[in-house]
Amino acid sequence: MNILKDILSELFGMFVSDARLTAAILALVLLAAALIAGTALPPIAGGILLLLGCIAVLVLSVRREARRRLMRVVQTPGKE
């Protein structure tokens, strides 16, 4: 039972550990769904929006994490 609890805890942590990333992805999916459901655009437009949006969210998330780690190294010189 402990193994199942640990697995579920890790899965939950994967999706909730970065709240900004989770919120950005959810907002992107909702925007794409609203765009397709509310307009006469073809579904491929939603797919393109999801693709480009996910790439942008990923790049921004990696950039933010890199900046955070760089600031941590700058503040504590000699330790990596």
Q: What is the mean pLDDT of residues 17-29?
A: 86
Show me where the domains of the chain are located: 2-75
- Can you give the pTM of this predicted structure? 0.67
pLDDT tens digits, 27-42: 999 999 999 999 888 9
pLDDT tens digits, 45-56: 999 999 999 999
Structure tokens at 24: 């950005």
Residues with Cβ within 8 Å of 47's Cβ and at least 6 positions away in sequence, in order, are 32
Residue 80 has pLDDT above 70, yes or no: no
Q: Which long-range contacts (CB under 8 A, 24 or more apart) does 27-31 make?
A: 28/53, 28/54, 28/57
Residue 75 has pLDDT above 60, yes or no: yes
Residue type, 35: L
The DSSP output letter for 49 is: H
